[in-house]
Amino acid sequence: MEEEQIKKAMIKLIKEKIPGGLSERVIDYGNDPRNCGTLEKPDGYGKIKGPCGDTMEIFLRIRNDTIEDITYTTDGCMTSHAAASAVTIMAKGKPLWESIKINQSAILKHLGGMPEDSKHCALLAAMTFQKALLHYAVEKKKSGGSG
């Protein structure tokens, strides 16, 4: 069996076994995470351990008040990776004023929804992202500099 056939079979199995189902985008981002990793000396950083025990970190590189680069790490499940990947895709290249709007509902909309018992992953990703933005704002204010 080719790798692509195996992937399709696994996706079909996942869709059948998970209550409430998963959107194509959740499965795609969860199985092929985007922007997963760290950044050296990030301008903004957030780390949160969610109530389910998953830990997520988000790293920001900001230039001219725009998110130039964004990466994440998580020890969570596929839906945690999907939610964090969604945040990175939604935020990368966006001005800070626009990225502030990225919250749980925006992530869920981008992903095409999630089963009820996975929605907390979108909340964790949103909260971690907001914490990274706050860290950037606090550090910028301390230094009196600009992004």
pLDDT digits (tens, 9 = 90+) for 66-122: 999 999 999 999 999 999 999 999 999 999 999 999 999 999 999 999 989 899 999
CB 39 within 8 A of CB 71: yes
Of 90, 98, 97, nearest to 125 by C-alpha is: 90
Question: How many whole angstroms separate alpha carbon 39 and alpha carbon 116?
Answer: 32
CATH number of domain containing 15: 3.90.1010.10
The more confident residue out of 142 and 122 is 122
The residue-averaged pLDDT of 30-58 equals 95
Q: What is the pLDDT of residue 19?
A: 54
Question: How many whole angstroms separate alpha carbon 127 and alpha carbon 55?
Answer: 12
Neighbours of 55 (CB within 10 A): 15
pTM (global) more than 0.95:
no
**Banded model confidence at residue 143, pLDDT cuts 50, 70, 90:** confident
Of 102, 97, 95, nearest to 72 by C-alpha is: 102
Least confident interval from 21-25, 42-46, 60-64: 21-25
DSSP conformational letter for 36: B
Q: What is the pLDDT of residue 22?
A: 83
* pLDDT, tens digit (0-9, with 9 covering 90-100), for 2-21: 877 776 776 666 665 555 57
Number of domains in the chain: 1
In the beta sheet, which residues pair with residue 48?
56
**Domain residues for 65?**
3-143
The number of residues in the chain equals 147
